[in-house]
Amino acid sequence: MSRTGNVVIVQGGGPTAVINASLYGIVRESTRRLDKSNRIWGACGGIVGVLQDRWQDLRKPSPRLWRSIAESPGAALGSCRKMLTAQEAMEAVRVLQRRDVRYCFVIGGNDSMDTALKMAQAASEFHYEMACCGVPKTIDNDLPCTDHCPGFGSAARYIAQATVDLGMDIRTLPTPISILEVMGRNAGWLTAATLLARRKPDDAPHLIYVPESPFVPADFLHDVQNVYDRQGWVVVAVSEGIIDEHGKSLGVTRDEKSTDAFGHALPGDVATTLAGMVTAELGLRARSEKPGILGRCSALMVSPVDRREAKEVGSFAVSWAIRGNSNFMASIQREHGKEYRVKYGAVSLDAVANLTRLLPLEFVAPRGNDIKEKYREYVKPLIGGSLHHYAWLATRSLPRSKPN
């Protein structure tokens, strides 16, 4: 692949707090390495923008503006959820060919890597020389062949700190049971990160449930009752994607049309269901909490490690493509040793497109109601610093005064 030809960047799927850092990394490295005559375009609204031939000139913003964009949540180019057909991939390549695009970068998760793969296949059928490159992004952390995904570290920091704060609140109120629903359709990586909130055995969360382990309602009620009997309050972290032993979602029932563009079922309000179950079966007052997309878009809780790696993996994708490589996703690999370090590599899009990396069961407690401490070692370096913990007064009260 020559050092000439135009660049297009596509953002896909749900944004993260650091997706624009990857965008910035791609633009910055492309500007450094390619001739000034080469155009750098951003597709407006994801792959739909490519099909509609709608672009932004990414050489126009000033360096100062780009630094601000790199620290902004949301997808600066606009995003979409669209399953690209083979025919549409052909049409997209024709659009890019007319604009002499030789480098196509797709920032996204599992489904976006499918988009990048189809673009690569279409370009190959046309015998059109264009590097198609994936740049990982997902708070779910479920892309294969990478140690972790940009966006995950910041979301993990947010949900862990939220669990600390929620625990401080719930332990003081007459509402003794709180069920915190965490994003993650099929994988429990993010839900497991609530473990970071716990420093002592009685700290929240007291119970953690992830999709990798079948959820048994009777066991759940037994676990909640046990914790409540022991200390009088309970915080439960539960993934939105948990299923029972029969493979059925625990969320609110939805109709068959409740799927996204890729056919994935939309997660229901699992925490609401479980809170109702606790109240009905145990007679305990319970409420549910669902941060939802707040957890993926919080710029205030961004992990500096996450933001730095998001930039660097974008930059690496450009350098790897310019060396003549295509049909790859840039990856992050953790190096061995006590000090946290990473290096960047590349894996075939075929190895990641539409595939899901589940949380290994070695991190899940045998009864499926907690996460093992070894997971803390994996996730702690990714959140970029310590959580904020608080002081707490002892609950012992003074002896009652004697009547006169």
Contacts of 38 (CB under 8 A, 6+ apart): 4, 5, 6, 7, 30
Coil vs helix vs strand at 107: strand
Catalytic-role residue among 53, 100, 114, 140? 140
Question: Taking the chain, what is the end-to-end CA distance rounded to the nearest angstrom?
Answer: 94
Catalytic-residue membership of 140: yes
What letter does residue 396 receive in the DSSP assignment?
A: P
Residue 219 CB neighbours (<10 A):
15
Alpha-carbon gap, residue 249 to 21, rounded angstroms: 35
176: cis peptide before it, omega within 30°?
no
Q: Say which amino acid occupies 300.
A: L
In 172-244, beta strands by DSSP E: 177-182, 207-209, 234-239
Coil vs helix vs strand at 253: coil
Alpha-carbon gap, residue 194 to 271, rounded angstroms: 15
Alpha-carbon gap, residue 27 to 326, rounded angstroms: 18
| Catalytic residue list | 140
